[in-house]
Amino acid sequence: MPEKIDYDAKIPNNVDLSSDRRLQRALEGWQPKFMNWWGEMGPTLRTQGVYLRTAVSVGREGWAHFDHVHVPDYRWGIFLAERDGDRRIAFGEHAGEPAWQQVPGEYRADLQRLIVIQGDTEPASVEQQKLLGLTAPSLYDLRNLFQVNVEEGRHLWAMVYLLHAYFGKEGREEAEGLLYRNSGSPDTPRILGAFNEETADWLAFYMFTYFTDRDGKYQLGTLKESAFDPLSRTCEFMLKEEAHHMFVGTTGVDRVVMRSAELIREHDTTDIAAHGGIPLEIIQKYINFHYTVSLDLFGSETSTNAANYYTAGLKGRWNETRRKDDHQLTDGSTFLDRPGEDGTWTQDEVQTLLALNLDLRSEYIADCRTGLKRWNRILAENDIGYRFSLPHPGFNRNVGINRGHHITPDGTIVDEATWEAGRSKWLPTTEDLTFVRSLMHPVYERGKIASWVAPPLNGINGKPFDFEYVHLP
Amino acid sequence: MTATVSPEVSFTRSPAAYRHWNLRIEGAVAWLELDVAEDGGIVPGYELKLNSYDLGVDIELYDAVQRLRFEHPGVRTVVVTSAKDNVFCAGANIRMLAGSSPEWKVNFCKFTNETRNAMEDATEHSGQTYLAAVNGSCAGGGYELALACDHIILIDDNSSTVALPEVPLLGVLPGTGGLTRVVDKRRVRKDRADVFATRSDGIRGKTAVEWRLVDELAPRRDFAEVVRQRALELAGRSSRPADATGVELTPLEPDGYAYRYVKAELGAETVDITVHGPDEHATDWLLTMTRELDDLILRLRTNEPELGTWVIRTAGDAETVLAHEEAVLGKPDDWLCNEIIHYYKRTLKRLDVTSRSLIALIEPGSCFAGVLLELALAADRQYILDGPPIEDEDSPLRASIRLSEANFGRFPMGNGLSRLESRFYQETDHLAWLRKEIGHTLTPAEANELGLVTDALDDIDWEDEIRIVLEGRAALSPDSLTGMEANHRFVGPETLETKIFGRLTAWQNWIFNRPNAAGPDGALRRYGTGRKAVFDRKRV
């Protein structure tokens, strides 16, 4: 059984790499290119050791090991969740057949495309966050940033493994392509728009890890259902690591809100900018921006591609096996809100099979609401009347049915002039971004933290907040 | 999805009213940017996403290609690109195809290829070189559009590809021109063409250059500059006049099917087409008549699919036709004369590939001379009346035909041969004999002896014989006629054009009607539903 991770190998893995010399050679050829990429595009800040979590097993118990690690020496590797030998395809026209251990020739191009797109997003966020280490609000946060970054790097490895192991020469070329595209590059940008946006400050980082990484969770969740078993097992294990990224986002925003609430009470004003805090309105604008950019990642509300992937068994729904329907979706229908030229909303009836992106997005939106509840609870506990909200899914959209329409956060359809007039109330302005950036001073002293964010309630792996999470030169 | 009712289609467009293209002229370079209005389909029921096109989009393209040749003599390079980010063109809209009748689909494919041929013709004969600036993904008909250009520049952003994904994605449709151009025009090796055309995701970057699918790559930041440079370089090679004034293509404004020189009357199963010769002082006759004939062919083909036989007549004075012809054909170095000659050539080719039975009737008062004799030679059969006009038996008027230089190679067919060479394939002695008859007025008996007509019928037999010919034609299977005519018309060598149109008439008519494509579980019906097509596995 290949479940045990072989840490003595040059590339740690639980796929019995040592017995597959072709694959081993391919991955060993890719490894130095990855290291070059990491050197160029990875975190700018040099450290002498970061208290990182490294996966040591893929089982349910005790899978992680914590220690200080010199970041470039992090043991990136290939870890797949344990194999269920009896796994059956859960949906689509192959439902009930044994899961595929090899790529069916018929679906080779589609699977490769899905993996390349997923793979392209993983290193993108490392590139987007390249400079953040220079302005970390505490050693604890700095450590989390590195943790997120090395794991995104490993997620890239996970996709590269699939490309190398199952897609031959073309797969190897695509794997190289993943390192040649770069976030925000004018010549070779990342494939999806949201991954070419800048993550310029730590509030954006928390928002990104809350909203955009959460999109990743849902995308991985659909790939976890895939009939192609290696992809399914890879994604299952990635989801485990992804959970921590979202924890960073959730608690990060918690702590910003908590600190702002403290300052509001302390100074008895909501205008806390002068006191080194981030006003609640600006936080709301960040929510509006990151949430809507992330909604775009779900694609068009109706999608033939998604339907084809589903029928073929390549990509399922969130929690596919827990759903109580026929898992074919050829009959049912659902409703989709469509903005009209006359300023009213109408409902289109669309086939369930064609509305899979909408289905996934709805799951995501419900999940996002839980964060809003948490942050509002903090405000309520501090007797502050302000409440955060998620904007309407039609607001500020560049993809899908709402694209080209002017929709306010409360879902009112307005004309362009009205919308533009409201923009500065709804989305971060240059002044807002400049102000937030002005707060971004690094705090590298043990147990200390920046003015605009509260310390975490708990440290990492039972360590206290003032633990030396990062050794700096 | 059921076949929708086809609307009445007009082919009249003007740049100011284009919905899908932006045409911009900057000195010697014209920029033709595809910016398809998603809601601007020519038939309701589908959205033109990702710069995909339907007949309406291509009619505008055809209009632009024509205007560039006639209205803009100063334009030497035409850059075809997209105004949308990250997508050049996704090709023919599949939902449109799924919702269309077979004849609409084949007509559409035929027209788009004729437009692409016109682009290639401009590059070859008019000094207007087409340059494809592929600034994003480019698939199917989108790549066919690029293939029609002389030079293809692909953006090198590590993700944009060129693709012909019809086989892996649709299971129908290969052979509308793209595959032929890949192997014949760009000389892509056949094994690579096979790999290329069975990959749904296409080929990018260096491989696309190495396989000759594109000519060069340009990085994103320098893309516009590289395209501009290349456009100027290509412009430098052209011999188009720098100081000429263009001729405006004013709207034709027909009354039904009646134009100034061309008139058509619709019968129950036939169309009677009469082409009038020039008025005595008309200077623009050949251009105007050609435009009218072109428009008529397109409208009849699209809007009157059940009228299977076209009866072609001419009316006017043969001497005036030949004098006018001499004025245009005698000046091939004049850019405008050159344009008119090639336009008439393309219009005759359109007639050659039209899936209708073509019957020429040569009667007293007709003027089948020189350029107009080509219409008779394009027909499947020619009948000449050997006697007085039917309605006036006392008239001394008799039918005749005249050969001119124009019939010996000025208007080649798609197979590269003149209509006379096609008619007398490899009969060089006969062609030499015909050459000696240039300028002579040929009587019905002479025309018959020279083999230029199917039969010369006297005035007693004429009406009955012609009626029997037309009624007999109408009784035959339309599909078998289409197949037969397409075979007879193109003798001799295969060319890119004969291959494309031969395959359109035969293979596409067949493939589009097969259950694998059009059946209830076929690829076109299933496309866009997320369900997979069910194929009959038998190879035929």
Q: What is the mean pLDDT of residues B19-25?
A: 98
Encoded amino acid at B356, one letter: R
Residue A264 sits at the chain B interface (C-beta within 8 Å): no
More confident of the two residues B241 and A193: B241
The pLDDT score that the predictor gives to residue A3 is 62
- B532 pLDDT band, cuts 50/70/90, is confident
Select from A187, A329, A350, A401 the residue whose CB has the most chain B CBs within 10 Å, as the one to mutate to test that interface.
Answer: A187
CB contact under 8 A, B156 and A187: yes
Q: What is the mean pLDDT of residues B36-55?
A: 94
Select from B531, B534, B537 the residue whose CB has the most chain A CBs within 10 Å, as the one to mutate to test that interface.
Answer: B531
More confident of the two residues B382 and B519: B382
Encoded amino acid at B96, one letter: M
Torsion of CA B187, B210, B134, B230, to 10 degrees: -90
In whole angstroms, what is the distance from residue A68 CA to residue A143 CA?
10
Residue A333 sits at the chain B interface (C-beta within 8 Å): no
High-pLDDT (> 70) share of chain A, %: 98
Q: Which residues of A touch B532 (CB under 8 A)?
A: 93, 308, 311-312
C-alpha separations of A150 from A49, A69, B104, B492 in Å: 13, 11, 56, 67
Residue B192 sits at the chain A interface (C-beta within 8 Å): no
Name which of B156, B159, B530 is nearest A310 (Cβ-Cβ).
Answer: B530
Q: Which residues of A touch B221 (CB under 8 A)?
A: 186-187
In whole angstroms, what is the distance from residue B61 CA to residue B13 CA?
10
Q: Is B251 exposed, middle or buried (0-12, 13-18, 19+ CB in 10 A)?
A: exposed
Residue A306 sits at the chain B interface (C-beta within 8 Å): yes
Q: Computed over its alpha carbons, how large is the radius of gyration of chain B?
A: 24
Q: Residue A186 CA to chain centroid, in angstroms?
A: 23
Q: What number of C-beta contacts closer than 8 Å exist between A and B?
A: 57
**Minimum CA–CA partner of A300 in chain B:** B49
Q: Which residues of A touch B201 (CB under 8 A)?
A: 109, 112-113
Residue A26 in this model has a pLDDT that exceeds 80: yes
Q: Residue B123 CA to chain centroid, in angstroms?
A: 16
The pLDDT score that the predictor gives to residue B516 is 85
- B373 pLDDT band, cuts 50/70/90, is very high
The pLDDT score that the predictor gives to residue B6 is 67
Residue A439 sits at the chain B interface (C-beta within 8 Å): no
Residue B1 in this model has a pLDDT that exceeds 50: no
Q: Closest approach of chain B CAs to the CA of A240, in angstroms?
A: 30
What stretches of B423-530 adopt beta strand conformation (E)?
Answer: 441-442, 455-458
CB contact under 8 A, B531 and A353: yes
What one-character DSSP code corresponds to residue B50? G
Residue B172 in this model has a pLDDT that exceeds 90: no
CB contact under 8 A, B157 and A189: yes
Listing DSSP states for A271-287 in one string gives --GGGT---HHHHHHHH
Closest CA to A388 of A273, A218, A260, A242: A260
Q: What SS3 state is found at B14?
A: coil
A33-42 confidence digits (pLDDT tens)? 999 999 999 9
Strands B270-276 and B357-362: unpaired
- A324 pLDDT band, cuts 50/70/90, is very high
Residue B4 in this model has a pLDDT that exceeds 80: no
Residue B512 in this model has a pLDDT that exceeds 90: no
In whole angstroms, what is the distance from residue B94 CA to residue B88 CA?
17
Closest CA to A352 of A335, A369, A365, A337: A335
More confident of the two residues B154 and B102: B154
- A2 pLDDT band, cuts 50/70/90, is very low
**Minimum CA–CA partner of A400 in chain B:** B49
Q: What is the mean pLDDT of residues A156-165?
A: 95
Q: Closest approach of chain A CAs to the CA of B140, in angstroms?
A: 16
Q: Residue A375 CA to chain centroid, in angstroms?
A: 20
What stretches of A307-344 adopt beta strand conformation (E)?
Answer: 333-339
Average pLDDT, chain A: 93
B413-424 confidence digits (pLDDT tens)? 999 999 999 999
The pLDDT score that the predictor gives to residue B171 is 67
CB contact under 8 A, A181 and B159: yes
Strands B381-386 and B455-458: parallel
What one-character DSSP code corresponds to residue B407? G
- B5 pLDDT band, cuts 50/70/90, is low
Q: Which residues of A touch B200 (CB under 8 A)?
A: 109-110
ipTM of the complex: 0.72
Residue B3 in this model has a pLDDT that exceeds 50: no
**Minimum CA–CA partner of A308 in chain B:** B530
Q: What is the mean pLDDT of residues A70-75?
A: 90
Give the ranges where B155-222 is alpha helix by DSSP (H). 178-180, 190-197, 205-210
Q: Which residues of B touch A398 (CB under 8 A)?
A: none
Residue A404 sits at the chain B interface (C-beta within 8 Å): no
CB contact under 8 A, B200 and A110: yes
Residue B453 in this model has a pLDDT that exceeds 70: yes
φ/ψ of A342, rounded to 5, equals -85, 5
B103-160 confidence digits (pLDDT tens)? 898 899 999 999 999 999 999 999 999 999 999 999 999 999 999 999 999 999 988 9
**Minimum CA–CA partner of A305 in chain B:** B530
The pLDDT score that the predictor gives to residue B97 is 86
Residue A277 in this model has a pLDDT that exceeds 80: yes
What stretches of B245-367 adopt beta strand conformation (E)?
Answer: 262-266, 270-276, 309-315, 357-362
Closest CA to A146 of A470, A458, A392: A470
Q: Closest approach of chain A CAs to the CA of B519, in angstroms?
A: 18
In whole angstroms, what is the distance from residue B493 CA to residue B422 CA?
10
Encode burial over B314-337: b for 16+ CB neighbours within 10 A, e otherwise: bebebebbbebbeebbeeeeebbb
